[in-house]
């Protein structure tokens, strides 16, 4: 099916970005507001301030308000910092950046945000180029008569029994990145079908339905001359002073329930005159009711970097919460794998506020696994994401979507709620939490859940049942060889109907390297690192905390730490101040990791900065971490960083922590650091060498025979790690003689 939706002539008018008139917000300012509780939000709404978040939430949030409202907020003890005094020039500035990005052409079609006609044309071109697998279709018509377009993608052949997955964007007009991402997914699924066997096999069993712009009227209004860049709702004429309904409050799931909803037509969360009152939500409902085997759904929004699962309207967990969580974590891992960005998984109530009448809850209520993904950034500059971040956001979203497709394609999804192991310490057993979920109504047979372990590349594998903790939750006990070989491992399980799943797939295995502690600083004594500004060693005094939390009163271990101003907050208008550890000789190391205990409070990076960098033999400082949002630690936590790219096998490695730069207001208590260590992998042992003397000989045979029998924990003689010193260990010695 090919439907012509536009002619090229229509497009010529929109080649350069157009923007709303800039005098709409004359006298208004943009402000960062510190929200402590829901009452603060209500107070600001009652004043007439306009929140720029997709979901209102505690902590820092961006709002539009007049200077008078800002003054009233401060009198009400709501910390309010004006960031833009002139909205018109703010919009001009953004237009300028967009024009430059579009003219540069970097990122191709994704160099800049695209209007409704541009998106429609691109969808049509994608379908025209591969009509065997892609077709454009009409979902419905908006209030103002615009067509809502979708694209369906699946392998040729009878699609009747295939699973259906839905991705949509732009229920909320101003969240522009949420349009670019679904278009990118469509384009790269079509591309992948031609050259990526995994995507081919997904599309053999799945039809992907994509609707990039659910709310074309609102979306066009955010670009139009005389429109409003900050518009969120659709464009219903409410026959009064205010237009629009919040489409993401109009769905039939606890509609108008009072959580983040309003019956005022002027509110940004106006629920509409009745449930499903809007042609846009009606059209999407009709589409979904026409999809058999509808299994999963993502409703894209921005911003905050969140993966929100059902339920959004209640604290009662969904009956399939373990599956919703496991799929959320799989998507998180997909997102993180591309550019390292964190997307927090939880219900709206876990991470923000409850919200009634949302799309994700409705699709979940009709049997799919429904999610809201809030895209980049975490905070400032909100939905005005710089165009240079369109492609990275699309790239990581595509990996998130592939993780979702893998999850619904595999009979069992295997994931690791606390991550995988980097290291095992020789002679210790490490517990690894394993989640095994059968996503689509099947169930796993817990008696078939195993870990397969060997020591070193050529060791013999032992099979050990996982410890079952109920539901899909298991624990694997992973030992480290006493002789310093790496531990290789993988998992498998079957469903009750006999379907098999391995992790990782194929014949690859996971590796936990034997670790060697190279440097350790407990901070019980002064390490005498070189310092600038208020960096020092000693006991913190619990001071500071004008914003965020005050300093701790002792270390993570012992009393002393390294900290920036042990007696209070960092200064305003600070330039970068470093503390430098090293240089360390790390010659011969592999897989070098930095670990330390952190207690950090710092304002979001639009204003204040905290960072860590590493310098190796090349002699240039490389940043390995910098705050991506406001950080308000209230307890010590252990953090680890992979510094192998700079530090592996380098003869002179320095590490520095940096406080600053900071801006003119809002002080926080800054860095506190304890228990710093540097570790690296070693592959010290020889397979078959029971007594760790570097030789495989008769002494090893005799050692095995003298310890014959069951082994509790890790035993040197148990070189095939099956908790038995037996003939398999003997055979491995002989094989490596």
Residue 40 or 175 with smaller CB distance to Zn ion: 175
Applying CB under 5 A, the span of 214-222, 293-301, 361-369, 660-668 interacting with Zn ion comes to 293-301
Q: Is 312 left (phi over 0), alpha (psi -120 to 50) or beta?
A: alpha
379, 604 contact by CB (below 8 A): yes
Residue 707 has φ and ψ, to the nearest 5°, of: -115, 15
Q: What stretches of 573-719 adopt beta strand conformation (E)?
A: 577-584, 590-598, 601-602, 610-615, 621-626, 631-632, 637-642, 653-659, 672-682, 709-710
Helix axes 116-129, 216-223, angle to 10 degrees: 120
Helix axes 177-195, 116-129, angle to 10 degrees: 10
What part of residues 474-533 is at the interface with Zn ion (CB under 5 A)? none
Applying CB under 5 A, the span of 104-112, 148-156, 298-306, 684-692 interacting with Zn ion comes to 298-306
Q: What is the DSSP string of 499-547?
A: -EEEESSTT--EEEEEEEEEEEE-SSS----EE-TTEEEE---S---SS
CA atoms within 13 A on the CB side of 359: 27
Shortest reach from residue 19's CB to Zn ion, in Å:
21
Q: How many residues does the chain have?
A: 737
Shortest reach from residue 56's CB to Zn ion, in Å:
11
Q: Is 511 left (phi over 0), alpha (psi -120 to 50) or beta?
A: beta
What part of residues 27-56 is at the interface with Zn ion (CB under 5 A)? 54
CA atoms within 13 A on the CB side of 31: 25
User: How far apart (Å, rounded) are the C-alpha atoms in residues 730 and 702?
Assistant: 9
31: which residues sit within 8 A by CB, 6+ positions away?
Answer: 62, 63, 64, 65, 70, 73, 80, 81, 82, 83
Shortest reach from residue 306's CB to Zn ion, in Å:
11
Site string for Zn ion, 156-175 (x = CB under 5 A): ----------------x--x
Q: How many C-beta neighbours within 10 Å does residue 148 have?
A: 25
Residue 175 or 608 with smaller CB distance to Zn ion: 175
3 state SS of 653:
strand
655, 673 contact by CB (below 8 A): no
Applying CB under 5 A, the span of 77-85, 138-146, 297-305, 617-625 interacting with Zn ion comes to 297-305
Site string for Zn ion, 170-209 (x = CB under 5 A): --x--x----------------------------------
Shortest reach from residue 52's CB to Zn ion, in Å:
11
318 binds Zn ion (CB under 5 A): no
- Of 164, 233, 301, 454, the residue at the interface with Zn ion (CB under 5 A) is 301
Catalytic residue numbers, as ranges: 374
310 binds Zn ion (CB under 5 A): no
Shortest reach from residue 290's CB to Zn ion, in Å:
25
- State which H helix or E strand residue 206 sits in: strand 206-211
CA atoms within 13 A on the CB side of 116: 21
What part of residues 583-642 is at the interface with Zn ion (CB under 5 A)? none
Read off the tokens for 419.
Answer: 């991550």
Shortest reach from residue 352's CB to Zn ion, in Å:
11
Residue 152 or 301 with smaller CB distance to Zn ion: 301
Residue 372 or 629 with smaller CB distance to Zn ion: 372
In terms of Cβ atoms closer than 10 Å to its own Cβ (0-12, 13-18, 19+), residue 603 is: buried
3 state SS of 191:
helix
- CA nearest 135: which of 154, 122, 163, 160? 154
Shortest reach from residue 214's CB to Zn ion, in Å:
11
Shortest reach from residue 301's CB to Zn ion, in Å:
3
Shortest reach from residue 54's CB to Zn ion, in Å:
3
Residue 172 or 609 with smaller CB distance to Zn ion: 172
Residue 136 has φ and ψ, to the nearest 5°, of: -90, 145
19, 532 contact by CB (below 8 A): no
Site string for Zn ion, 539-558 (x = CB under 5 A): --------------------
Helix axes 321-339, 390-409, angle to 10 degrees: 140
Shortest reach from residue 177's CB to Zn ion, in Å:
11
CA atoms within 13 A on the CB side of 281: 28
656 binds Zn ion (CB under 5 A): no
Number of residues lying near Zn ion (CB under 5 A): 4
- CA nearest 655: which of 669, 668, 641? 641
Shortest reach from residue 432's CB to Zn ion, in Å:
37
User: How far apart (Å, rounded) are the C-alpha atoms in residues 626 and 635?
Assistant: 19
Residue 146 or 172 with smaller CB distance to Zn ion: 172
Residue 54 or 307 with smaller CB distance to Zn ion: 54
Q: Kindly list the residues in this chain that would bind Zn ion in the complex (CB under 5 A).
A: 54, 172, 175, 301
């Amino acid at each position: 099916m090919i439907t012509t939706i536009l002619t090229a002539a229509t497009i010529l008018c929109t080649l350069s970005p157009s923007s709303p008139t800039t005098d709409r917000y004359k006298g208004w300012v943009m402000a960062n507001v510190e929200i402590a509780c829901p009452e603060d939000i209500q107070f600001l709404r009652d004043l007439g301030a306009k929140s720029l978040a997709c979901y209102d939430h505690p902590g820092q949030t961006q709002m539009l308000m007049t200077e008078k409202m800002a003054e009233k907020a401060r009198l009400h003890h709501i910390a309010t910092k004006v960031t833009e005094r002139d909205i018109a020039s703010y919009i001009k500035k953004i237009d300028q950046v967009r024009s430059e990005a579009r003219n540069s052409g970097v990122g191709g079609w994704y160099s800049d945000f695209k209007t409704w006609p541009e998106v429609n044309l691109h969808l049509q071109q994608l379908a025209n180029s591969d009509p065997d697998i892609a077709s454009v279709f009409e979902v419905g018509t908006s209030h103002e008569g615009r067509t809502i377009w979708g694209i369906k993608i699946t392998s040729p052949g009878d699609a009747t029994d295939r699973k259906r997955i839905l991705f949509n964007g732009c229920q909320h007009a101003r969240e522009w990145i949420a349009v670019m991402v679904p278009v990118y997914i469509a384009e790269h699924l079509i591309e992948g079908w031609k050259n990526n066997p995994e995507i081919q096999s997904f599309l053999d069993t799945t039809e992907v339905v994509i609707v990039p712009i659910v709310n074309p009227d609102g979306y066009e209004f955010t670009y139009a001359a005389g429109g409003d860049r900050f518009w969120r709702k659709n464009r219903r004429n409410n026959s009064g002073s205010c237009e629009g309904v919040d489409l993401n409050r109009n769905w039939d799931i606890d509609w108008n329930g009072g959580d983040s909803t309003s019956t005022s037509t002027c509110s940004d969360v106006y629920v509409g005159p009745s449930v499903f009152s809007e042609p846009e939500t009606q059209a999407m409902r009709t589409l979904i009711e026409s999809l058999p085997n509808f299994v999963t759904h993502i409703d894209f929004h921005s911003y905050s970097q969140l993966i929100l699962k059902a339920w959004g309207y209640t604290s009662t967990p969904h009956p399939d919460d373990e599956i919703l969580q496991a799929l959320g974590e799989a998507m998180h891992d997909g997102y993180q794998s591309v550019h390292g960005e964190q997307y927090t998984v939880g219900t709206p109530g876990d991470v923000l506020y409850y919200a009634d009448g949302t799309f994700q809850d409705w699709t979940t209520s009709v049997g799919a696994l429904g999610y809201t993904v809030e895209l980049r950034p975490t905070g400032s500059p909100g939905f005005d994401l710089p165009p240079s971040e369109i492609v990275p956001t699309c790239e990581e979203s595509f990996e998130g979507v592939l993780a979702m497709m893998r999850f619904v394609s595999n009979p069992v999804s295997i994931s690791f709620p606390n991550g995988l192991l980097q290291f095992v310490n020789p002679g210790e057993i490490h517990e690894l939490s394993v989640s095994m979920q059968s996503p689509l109504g099947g169930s796993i047979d817990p008696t078939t859940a195993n870990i397969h372990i060997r020591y070193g590349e050529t060791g013999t594998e032992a099979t050990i049942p996982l410890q079952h903790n109920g539901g899909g939750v298991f624990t694997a006990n992973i030992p480290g060889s006493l002789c310093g070989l790496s531990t290789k491992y993988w998992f498998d399980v079957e469903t009750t109907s006999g379907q098999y799943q391995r992790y990782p797939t194929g014949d690859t295995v996971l590796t936990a390297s034997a670790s060697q502690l190279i440097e350790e600083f407990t901070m019980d004594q002064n390490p005498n690192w070189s310092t600038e500004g208020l960096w020092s060693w000693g006991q913190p005094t619990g001071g500071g905390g004008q914003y965020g939390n005050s300093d701790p009163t002792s270390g993570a271990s012992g009393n002393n730490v390294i900290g920036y101003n042990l007696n209070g907050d960092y200064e305003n208008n600070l330039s970068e101040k470093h503390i430098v550890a090293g240089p360390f000789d790390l010659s011969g190391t592999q897989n070098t990791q930095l670990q330390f205990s952190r207690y950090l409070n710092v304002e979001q990076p639009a204003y204040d900065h905290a960072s860590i960098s590493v310098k190796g033999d090349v002699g240039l400082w490389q940043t390995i971490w910098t705050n991506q949002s406001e950080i308000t630690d209230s307890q010590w936590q252990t953090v680890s960083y992979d510094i192998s790219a700079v530090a592996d096998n380098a003869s002179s490695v320095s590490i520095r922590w940096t406080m600053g730069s900071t801006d003119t207001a809002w002080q926080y208590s800054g860095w506190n650091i304890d228990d710093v260590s540097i570790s690296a992998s070693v592959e010290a042992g020889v397979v078959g060498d029971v007594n760790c003397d570097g030789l495989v000989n008769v002494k090893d045979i005799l050692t095995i025979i003298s310890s014959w029998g069951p082994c509790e924990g890790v035993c040197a003689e148990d070189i095939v790690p099956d908790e038995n010193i037996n003939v398999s260990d003997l055979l491995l010695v002989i094989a490596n003689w």
